[in-house]
């Protein structure tokens, strides 16, 4: 169940880069906002419109997708395909009535632990400035 008090952000992280960066950030004892919950994915090319929509339907406030640097995808172009899909999801969210800025895509390598914490902080601040997901029933009431 989604915690209705604090902000909830899902970070879909590619196992070949962002997930490694998050792991390294942990090893280096770097701090990042606890609102972000990491979900390991094999490649950002795995990102599916439906899984992002279902996250919002369940009341998640924001989604960040973190994939490899351009040209460095383990599967050649999964990150670039994901980028296009994110644009479509943003468009869908707008039609639905949610802010498209609730979804963001980033690119980084597994060595970029510091950058990972900056990205997470940036995303969290952005989502907090937009506000909570109005779809969560408790909030609608």
Partner 1 sequence: MIVAEQKSLDEIKSLIGSANKVLVVGCGTCVTVCFAGGSREAAIMSSSLRMSSKLDGVPRNVSDVTVQRQCEWEYLDTISKQVEEADIVLSLGCGIGVQAIAEHFPNTWVVPGLNTTFMGLPLEQGVWAERCAACGDCILGLTGGICPIARCSKSLLNGPCGGSEDGHCEIDPEIPCAWQLIYDRLSSMDKLDVLMELQAPKNWQTSRDGGPRKIIREDLRLVGEEE
Structure-block tokens of residue 88: 């479509």
Q: Find the binder of partner 1 among 54, 69, 87, 131 (CB under 8 A).
A: 54
What is d(CA 137, CA 79) in angstroms, rounded to the nearest whole number? 34
Q: Which is nearest to 69 in space by CA: 116, 33, 126?
A: 116
Q: Find the binder of partner 1 among 60, 64, 98, 105 (CB under 8 A).
A: 98
CB of 57 to partner 1, least distance (A): 6
What is d(CA 23, CA 19) in angstroms, rounded to the nearest whole number? 6
Residue pair 43/80 in contact by the 8 Å Cβ criterion? no
CB of 109 to partner 1, least distance (A): 28
Q: Is residue 27 part of the contact set for partner 1 (CB under 8 A)? A: no
Q: Is residue 1 part of the contact set for partner 1 (CB under 8 A)? A: no
Scanning 14-22, 50-58, 103-111, 119-127 for contacts with partner 1 by CB under 8 A, the matching segment is: 50-58
Q: Find the binder of partner 1 among 69, 96, 111, 139 (CB under 8 A).
A: 96
27 or 97: CB nearest partner 1: 97
Q: Is residue 140 part of the contact set for partner 1 (CB under 8 A)? A: yes
Sorted by sequence, the CB contacts under 8 Å of residue 10 that are 6+ apart come out as 36, 37, 39, 55, 60, 62, 63, 64
Q: Is residue 141 part of the contact set for partner 1 (CB under 8 A)? A: no
Strands 103-107 and 9-14: unpaired
Binding site for partner 1 (CB under 8 A): 48-50, 53-54, 56-57, 92, 95-98, 134-135, 140
């Amino acid at each position: 169940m989604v915690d209705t008090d604090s902000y909830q952000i899902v970070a879909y992280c590619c196992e070949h880069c962002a997930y490694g960066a998050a792991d390294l950030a942990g090893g280096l004892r770097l701090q990042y906002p606890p609102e972000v919950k990491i979900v390991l994915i094999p490649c950002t090319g795995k990102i599916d419109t439906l899984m992002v929509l279902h996250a919002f339907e369940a009341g998640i406030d924001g989604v960040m997708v973190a994939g490899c640097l351009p040209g460095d995808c383990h599967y050649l172009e999964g990150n670039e395909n994901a980028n296009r899909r994110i644009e479509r999801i943003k468009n869908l969210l707008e039609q639905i009535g949610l802010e498209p800025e609730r979804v963001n895509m980033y690119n980084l390598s597994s060595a970029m632990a510091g950058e990972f914490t900056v990205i997470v902080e940036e995303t969290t601040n952005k989502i907090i400035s937009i506000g909570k997901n109005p779809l969560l029933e408790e909030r609608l009431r």
